[in-house]
Amino acid sequence: MRAWPVASIVLAGVVLITIGCVPPPRATGSEDSVGRSNTESTINTLFAPPSPETIPGDLRGEQIRLGYKMVVDTQEYGKRYVGNALNCTNCHLDAGLNPNAASFVGIATLYPQYRERAGRQMTLADRINECFERSMNGKPLPPDSVKLTGIVAYIEWLSQNMPPGVEVPWRGIPRLISTHQPDPLNGRKVFEQKCVFCHGSDGQGTMAAPPVWGPRSYNIGAGMARMTVAASFIKANMPRGWGWTLTDDEAIDAAAYINTQPRPDFPDKIHDWPKGGKPADVPY
């Protein structure tokens, strides 16, 4: 059985920290009280992803490993379906194992789920394909493809032993709640001071970090293209390794700045929220 490469993820984080010469990342967990908008029943349970040794040695195990590779190296393993420079793990940090970044742990049992944006029930595979079309600016995978089945298997493996239909408290991104008016001009200053080092002055990414706008970024149909989603992600996770160091206003302004820059369109957006309920910060 192949060694599970989680250690290499941790190492990558350590390398970044060494380059930056700044304090180590905060321990995750405590700031979760910033507030998640959980409306469904939640469960008080520990964030404890299964250990890699529990991956079975059979075909199922192969699927789980393929799913993991799809998530961390989507550029290579999902090439035909990706239309930008991102990997799933760039937002679902640490391969979906980070409780502050739309973790995959414990979410499989919540599907199928009704989604307002689509106006219909969605399976986990459907939800994954939404991120392929929007966050990855690409194409949906065929429903029966081994690659899609692999990602589903990986997320199911991360959700084992979860009671069906019970929402985990770490689901999504810790929601930043503020009355601050987003100020993209100040956001530009924040970006120049705290983001260009890794994302580049033109936002197009560097060796150290992926693009945050432009043709190789997520499209306008992506969740991250919404100001409140990006602000929450940035507050909790950026600069990478130093989450929770920006003020709320800085995170909101930086999000407003990157999300007012050009990025790919999503023509299918005309079908979104067919029954209403579109949030105010959707950029179309």
Residue 199 is a binding residue for ligand HEC (CB under 6 A) = yes
List all residues 6 or more positions away from 186 whose beta carbon is below 8 Å from its beta carbon. Answer: 249, 253
From 127, 147, 216, 235, residue interacting with ligand HEC (rule: CB under 6 A): 127
Distance (Å, rounded) from C-alpha 41 to C-alpha 266? Answer: 33
Nearer to ligand HEC, 57 or 278 (CB): 278
Give the binding range for ligand HEC (CB under 6 A) out of 25-33, 156-164, 178-186, 240-248: 240-248
Q: How many helices (H) and strands (E) does the chain have?
A: 10, 2
Judged by CB under 6 A, the residue of 162, 176, 209, 282 near ligand HEC is: 209
198 binds ligand HEC (CB under 6 A): yes
- Binding flag, residue 151, ligand HEC (CB under 6 A): yes
Rounded Cα distance between 162 and 105, Å, is: 9
Find the angle CA(217)-CA(221)-CA(224) to the nearest 5 degrees: 60
Which listed range, 115-123, 233-241, 266-274, 276-284, lies at the site for ligand HEC (CB under 6 A)?
233-241
CA-based nearest residue to 195, from 223, 152, 230: 230
**Site residue total, ligand HEC (CB under 6 A):** 50
Burial tier of 229 (Cβ tally within 10 Å: 0-12, 13-18, 19+): buried
In the bound complex, what is the minimum distance in angstroms from residue 59's beta carbon to ligand HEC? Answer: 21
Residue bearing tokens 């700045």? 257
Give the separation between CA 145 and CA 81, rounded to whole angstroms: 12
Q: Measured from the CB atom, is 39 or 53 closer to ligand HEC?
A: 39
164-180 CB burial, b ≥16 within 10 A, e <16: eeebbebbbbbbbebee
Structure tokens at 71: 């998530």
Of 24-32, 41-49, 54-62, 196-204, the segment contacting ligand HEC by CB under 6 A is 196-204
Q: For residues 1 and 240, which CB has a smaller minimum distance to ligand HEC in the complex? A: 240
Does residue number 102 form part of the binding site for ligand HEC (CB under 6 A)?
yes
> Which residue type, as a one-letter code, is found at position 116?
E
Q: How far is the CB of 30 from ligand HEC (least distance, A)?
A: 19
List residues binding ligand HEC (CB under 6 A).
16, 20, 71, 74, 86, 88-93, 102, 107, 127-128, 131-132, 135-136, 151, 171-173, 190, 194-195, 197-199, 208-212, 217-218, 222-224, 229-230, 233-234, 238-241, 246, 254, 258
